[in-house]
Structure 1
Amino acid sequence: MKKELRIFFTAMMFLTRLPVPRFTDHSADYLERSVKYFPLIGWMVAGISGLTFLIFNKYISEDIAIAASIIAGLLTTGAFHEDGFADVCDGFGGGWTKEKILLIMKDSRLGSYGVIGMMSVLLCKFLLLKELPKFTPDLQTPSVNIFYNYRYLLLTLVAAHGVSRLMPVWVMRYYDYVTDPDGSKSKPVASRKPTILFLIVPTITALLPFVFMSWQFVLVVIPVVYGAFSLARYFKKWIGGYTGDCLGAIQQVSELCFYLSMIIIWRYVI
């Protein structure tokens, strides 16, 4: 149990800026095993973002609450995945060969493609999150319990952050890691492909929130998986596999696909 706790805190240290116990070190073995807790870390990020939304929505306004929840998520993760998405935009936008793409993605400076990509992701996230409260059935008969009123929104956030962090783990199972492994912080995570048996735990964790929703919402997984593996195939075509930045981009795109799919199901299926 103590070992699993250390593995969990390793995942927490890798994906977030949240404080961890002092006994959590930088063990490569623990980091490799920590991917099974990635969806659970997503739950934590969703919880912080959701709580921030509820507080600001109660005392200020919905728009400010959505912006605050996004900022809270960015501060919690240190913009870990957003930075990867921006690097991918720079690399694939400005490079036409594998070597050039990898070289640009390693550059710590942010280019025009990265800026545009980052702005687009944040704008899309804001607009999609703004639509979600409008389709929550519980708001038609609100109670004094704000958590109950927004339970579907909170569940959506938890499911979105969990499933979107599951997608990179599955991509690691079927695609190869590229770039210089000795100079990459993702080397321990990508050094060995996770087995199907190993993926059972994170998959169950990511899908658990759907137990508390209407069964139709499970359909959101289809476009999310399609989008994630379409990106993975695109990365393989150009650079032969994925990098840590590519996994970050997959998480961001998967999260946006999740929100969009939820809105479509709310509007046209439920």
Structure 2
Amino acid sequence: MRYQLELFFTALGFFTRLPVPAWVPWSPERLNHAARFFPLVGWVVGATGAAGYAVFALVLPASLAVILSMAVTIRLTGAFHEDGFADTCDGLGGGWDKAQVLAIMKDSRIGSYGTIGMVLMLMAKAAALIELARLGATAPQGTVAGVAAALLVAHPLSRLAATSLIHLLPYVREDDSAKSRPLARRLTPGELTVAGTCGLLPLALLAPAEALGALVAVIAVTTWAARLFVRRLGGYTGDLLGATQQLAELAAYLGLLAAAHIAPLATA
């Protein structure tokens, strides 16, 4: 049990800026085995965002509460996944072959594709959450997922999406200095079970139609991303995992919105 706790803190320390206990050892091998708890880190990030939204919404309009809650989660993670998404936009947008794409993604500077992609991603997530807040305020109680439920579901589920690529695709960077190099190992069946449970369990917070909408949207986006990554690079990198998390998080919000809009049509 202590070993599992150490692995969780290893994952938490890698993907957030939260301090971990001094007694937790670190090694590339431990980070490798900590992949099972990446979706559980999403519980922490999602809960922090949900709590932030609940506090801000007490004194501010829902739109501002959403934006500030997003700022809280970005601060918590150090924009780790957002940086990966921006690098992915730059690499896939500006690179013609595998070597060029990888070189661009490794550059610490952000280009036009990354800037535009990141702005659009943040705007889309904010707009989706604001719309969920609006629908949640006007719909009968319990019929539409609110912002807090959406955050609690989307963060673990999107991290499960990224974790699935670690298991399914090969790691394509050859330099040992890459931060995500220690993650380049397929998960065991037991590790997959833990990751899957942590990623899927929050769906129980939603109505069945909403849970299905979010899950289908995330699976569709993850499948599309995996096919794109294999076609362009032959596998994944750490930046591509970050991009997958961002895309899957947005997909979860859009799936919830789609379910909310389809449900009244189905009962009409």
- TM-score interval (norm. to shorter): over 0.9
TM-score (norm 1): 0.92
**Alpha-carbon shift at residue 140 of structure 1 (Å):** 4.6
Q: Report the equivalent of 1:88.
A: 88
Q: In the alignment, does 2:205 pair up with 1:205? A: no
Q: In the alignment, does 2:236 pair up with 1:242? A: yes
> SS at 1:193's partner residue?
coil
Please tell me whether the aligned partners of residues 135 and 267 of structure 1 are also in contact (alpha carbons under 8 angstroms): no
1:65-84 deviation line (CA, Å, top 9, x unaligned): 11100100100000000000
> SS at 1:110's partner residue?
coil
**Alpha-carbon shift at residue 212 of structure 1 (Å):** 3.2
Q: How does 1:1-270 map to 2 (within 5 A)?
A: 1-136=1-136, 140=140, 152-190=146-184, 192-219=185-212, 220-269=214-263
> SS at 1:179's partner residue?
coil
> SS at 2:191's partner residue?
coil
1:29-73 deviation line (CA, Å, top 9, x unaligned): 210111111111111111111111111111122121111001001
- Partners of 1:155 and 1:203 in 2: how far apart? 19
> SS at 1:198's partner residue?
helix
> SS at 1:199's partner residue?
helix
Between the aligned residues of both structures, percent identity stands at 39
- Which has the larger displacement, 119-128 or 198-207? 198-207
Please tell me whether the aligned partners of residues 145 and 256 of structure 2 are also in contact (alpha carbons under 8 angstroms): no
Moved over 6 A (4+): none
- Partners of 1:82 and 1:253 in 2: how far apart? 10
> SS at 1:265's partner residue?
helix
Q: How has the CA–CA distance of structure 1 residues 196 and 226 changed in structure 2, closer, same or farther, with 3 Å as cutoff? A: farther
* Amino acid in the other structure paired with 2:102: L
- Which has the larger displacement, 237-246 or 212-221? 212-221
> SS at 2:171's partner residue?
coil
**Alpha-carbon shift at residue 197 of structure 1 (Å):** 3.3
> SS at 1:136's partner residue?
helix
Structure 2 residues not aligned, in runs of 5+:
none
Please tell me the root mean square deviation across aligned C-alpha atoms, in Å.
1.9
- Partners of 2:174 and 2:215 in 1: how far apart? 32
Structure 1 residues not aligned, in runs of 5+:
142-147
